[in-house]
Structure 1
Amino acid sequence: MKRRTAREKALQAIFQIDMNETTPGEAIQYVLDGKSNDDYLEKLVVGVAEQRDEIDSILKDHLEKWSIERLANVDRNIMRLAIYEMIYCEEDVPVNVAINEAIEVAKIFGDDESSKFVNSVLSKVKQSIEKSSLKDKK
């Protein structure tokens, strides 16, 4: 499975977990619809589910004039997925790639403004990550 496809399926599974409170395993099986599992898909879904509180905290810190509850469900979950990749997959996925992929997924699953909004918020997250990484090196 290509990474883009894994991200799209992961978004669908994360959305299922968010809306229906299913387990990561159940959500993955649902989106795969009988097809074989993918390691990266599983890593994304399980990772976002396990780190959701931390990811949501980061997301809340970078929203201006928005609460996380007011976000469109799709946008919220696209950004959760991207933040997970930015923080926990940085050795495998460059931050800019995670942002660009989130923008492309937002164009597919979100509304007309989703990609711009996702880009804006994730760019702020990127700046924070870069600042904290610089502090860690000193």
Structure 2
Amino acid sequence: MKRREAREKAVQTLFQLDGTTLPVEEAISYIAEEPVDSFYEMLVKGTREKQESIDEVLTGKLENWSLDRLPKIERTVLRLAAYELLYNEEVPHKVAVNEAIELCKTFGDEKSGRFVNGVLSKFEQQRM
């Protein structure tokens, strides 16, 4: 499985998990075929495990929005991208941001891509 496909499946899984008590392993079994791709699994499990700290960071970068008010797809993509930006050092920041924008084009609309880009650009500004 290529990384783009892994990210797409991760968004689908995380979207499914948002607001439910469904166990991560069960959600993964609905989306991924055996054997489960390690990058995909790392994205899903890592994002879920770090979700509280990711949400804190994202809340600080949202202007005039709360995380709960965001459309579910934007919230899901932002969480996944924030996980990669904060906890996955092997993925360059630009790649993580570009992939998030592409995920928005696939699952959201043009506005969601611009919004996600604006929020994620604050991660890069903070690094400088």
TM-score tier, shorter chain, comes to over 0.9
Query: What is the identity, as a one-letter code, of the residue corresponding to 2:120?
Result: L
Match in the other structure for 1:88: 87
Larger mean CA deviation between 44-53 and 19-28 belongs to 19-28
Displacement after TM superposition at 1:35 (Å)? 4.2
Match in the other structure for 2:57: 58
Query: Among 122, 125, 131, which residue is 2:123 paired with?
Result: 125
Identify unmatched segments of 5+ residues in structure 2. none
Would you say how many aligned residue pairs link Structure 1 and Structure 2?
128
Over alpha carbons, which structure has the higher Rg? 1
Say whether 1:45 aligns with 2:44. yes
Runs of 4+ in 1 over 3 A off after TM superposition: none
Asked whether the 8 Å contact 1:78–1:105 carries over to 2, the reply is yes
Q: Give the % identical residues.
A: 48
Match in the other structure for 2:76: 77
CA root-mean-square deviation:
1.1
- SS of the equivalent of 2:91 reads coil
